[in-house]
Chains A and B, each alone.
Chain A
Amino acid sequence: MLKYIVRRLLGAIPVLFGLSFILFAFVHLLPGDPSRAILGQHATPEAVARLRANLGLDQPLYVQYFTYLGQLLRGDFGASIINNRPVLSEFAVRFPGTVELTAAALIFSIGVGIPLGRLAARHAQGWIDGGVTVLSLVGISIPVFVLGLVFVHIFAVELGWLPTQGRLDPRARLDIVTNFMLIDTLIAGKFGLFVDALRHLVLPAIALGSIPLAIIARITRASVLDVSNEDYVRTARAKGLRERRVDNRHIMRNAWLPVVTVIGLQVGGLLGGAVLTETVFVWNGVGRWVVDAIGNRDYFVVQGTVMIFALIFLAVNLVVDIGYAFLNPRIRYS
């Protein structure tokens, strides 16, 4: 097991180097000059030259690359062009918002997707199965931002059940500690605000969770059906075990593996989808920040955020793969 983990960790190193190189190339090898973009088309050549020197853009490319790499290794992901604040600390401030949203979406999609998939498999070819199939087809075919807008219109604008945007009632007074609203409200002991934060979370989480929900339901259904045809399941039934026991002990235990893999694969999509969901719901997280940065041509924020996102994504994949190897010994030794 340890050998497997070490092997996977070593395997991630060339990917990280490649990633740093590609992101570096994005800024420096493509036409267009960041300093020109920062200062605008009408800047004087002197001002451009000064900024280029400040940003180190007048150095040879390989020097710039190694400088960049050195910064990365020290945890320096660059600074915003607009306000010169370091990308990493700004990211850290906003990241809890994104985590809260994606975690809620993931919990929703797993909590609903797996039971739905099991239900569909149990009644395979029946109308429940048909309904789940149609639901999951629509789920993967509807963009998060369309679903989000429709939710806002129905549940917030028309019915007024839930708030349209934000993470908390703007009039609320709350000390930000972790920037996880659900945690901060509890730390402050304000249960009313906790409920308010939860109400703000419902629509974005369901919108963002719709695609993973559809995929998880599909895979669970297929996986359960696959396992149900195995001989040992028939044996278990033949020896008179209760259906529930067969379901939990014989079918689900073996049906988990593909489901776990697919859940791990959803994390990347969720992080990407969060960018769109945060825009729809004016949710204060990393996604909206990146979109604003693009609007402001704040290149280094975009570069740094993509790099951090990729690091997180790689780490999550690694954890999922290790978990998978833990569950399935065949992976470890291949």
Chain B
Amino acid sequence: MTAPTVTVTAPTAARASRGLWGDAARRLLRNRPAIVGLICIAIFISAAILAPVIAPYGPLAGTLAERYQPPSLQHLMGTDTQGRDEFTRVLYGAQVSLQVGVIAVFLALFMGGVIGAIAGGLGGKIDAVLMRIVDVLLAIPGILLAIGIIAWLDRGMLQLMLAIAITYVPVFARLLRGSLLALREADYVLAARSIGASRVRILLRHMLPNALTPLIVSATLVLATAIIDIAGLGFLGLGPPDPRTAEWGTMLTDARKFLELAPWLVYFPGLAIVISAIGFNLVGDGLRESLDPRLRR
């Protein structure tokens, strides 16, 4: 006796599904503000990567005789207080912001993710203790925490990354914990529990993947604020240890004293920061809409 073959047709939509990410990417590309954002990010990233190739001068090259030159064909963005080419330095500045920003956000995502996963996944006393720690970090307003950390750890690239990262750990920890708590009562988690899956397995295989999307959205938005914070710390003189480093915030500190003489030294690095931040803000908003179809209006 042969068993009747049963063909199961999945209730797919007429359009072939490309999975969550494929769909999200397609929706993102149909979102006009998000495209503008992607272009901004593309400019930012290519400036960082291609700086050594496109930059017409070295980031530290310049003589005092050539300082304060207004924008011209030789110096597209003029020259700074030391006679260095501003365009070159804006390009190299993107490297610092990109490196520090991305690494800091990943660090924050990792630390916050671990705290949030443990708190939201296990609950109980551990949750209560971890959330109190997060509350403590949240009690120190934003950039002040970063300022405090660098003041203690001294200036340095690693310190800069760590300072920015720690500022955003509470954001990610709370977010992940919140989504995990909401997922605990989801039907598929109940189902997994009822067939005897272990807590760790349920957490890692069933709950985490479903809690990732808000985390990704918020990481993109945090990257925008992280870039602004890095520049802010640089502006306060807490940026990269070598004051000659081309970093947008540090460049603005120099520019501040010569606002009457060379205002372009404020506008170009400022514009660079704004473009990068706008890019990540627009893409973050776009991702939120495309990853969560319920949010679309």
Contacts and interface: CB of A to CB of B under 8 A. Distances in A.
Interface of A: 14-15, 18-19, 22-23, 26-27, 30, 32, 137-138, 140-146, 149-150, 152-153, 157, 267-269, 271-273, 275-276, 279-280, 290-291, 294-295, 299, 302-303, 306, 309-310, 313-314
Interface stretch (B118-126, B174-182, B260-268): B260-268
B259 A153 contact: yes
Interface residues of B, number: 44
Interface stretch (B49-57, B150-158, B212-220): B150-158
A140 B238 CA distance: 22
B281 A143 contact: no
B152 A143 contact: no
Interface stretch (B60-68, B85-93, B199-207, B224-232): B224-232
A306 B256 CA distance: 26
Contact of A150 (B139, B150, B266): B266
B148 A306 contact: yes
Nearest to A276: B232
B145, B236, B274 — most chain A CB neighbours (10 Å)? B236
A136 to B, nearest CB: 10
A317 B224 CA distance: 25
A27 B277 CA distance: 34
A291 B236 contact: yes
A280 B236 CA distance: 10
A295 B235 CA distance: 13
Contacts of A279: 235-236
B270 A146 contact: yes
B141 A313 contact: yes
Contact of B151 (A137, A138, A267, A299): A299
Nearest to B155: A294
Contacts of B132: 14-15, 18
B228 A143 contact: yes
A310 B151 contact: no
A51 B153 CA distance: 21
Q: Is the interface of B mostly helix, strand, loop or mixed?
A: helix
B144 interface: yes
A142 B274 contact: yes
B113 to A, nearest CB: 21
Interface of B: 132-133, 135-137, 139-145, 147-154, 224, 228, 231-232, 235-238, 249, 252, 255-256, 259-260, 263, 266-267, 270, 273-274, 277-278, 281-282
Contacts of A140: 224, 277, 281
A240 B183 CA distance: 44
B130 to A, nearest CB: 11
Nearest to A312: B141
Given A145-B252, A146-B274, A302-B151, A268 B141 contact: yes
Contacts of A32: 152, 154
Contact of A157 (B137, B235, B263, B281): B263
Nearest to B229: A143
Contacts of A306: 140, 144-145, 148
Which 8 pairs across A and B sit closest by C-beta, in order of nearness?
A: A268-B141, A18-B136, A141-B277, A146-B270, A272-B143, A272-B142, A141-B278, A310-B139
Given A22-B136, A276-B236, A137 B281 contact: yes
Contacts of B274: 138, 141-143, 146
B147 A30 contact: no
Contact of A141 (B149, B150, B224): B224
B140, B228, B277 — most chain A CB neighbours (10 Å)? B140
A36 B142 CA distance: 29
A303 B255 CA distance: 30
A290 B237 CA distance: 12
A138 B145 CA distance: 25
Contacts of A15: 132, 135-136, 139
A321 B143 CA distance: 23
B133 A18 contact: yes
B178 to A, nearest CB: 15
Nearest to A306: B148
A23 B259 CA distance: 38
Given A138-B278, A146-B266, A269 B141 contact: yes
Contacts of B153: 30
Contacts of B143: 272-273, 275-276
Contacts of A150: 266-267, 270
Nearest to B132: A14
Contacts of B141: 267-269, 271-272, 309-310, 313
A137 B278 contact: yes
Contacts of A275: 143-144, 147, 236
Given A138-B278, A271-B141, A19 B136 contact: yes
B151, B238, B278 — most chain A CB neighbours (10 Å)? B151
A309 B146 CA distance: 14
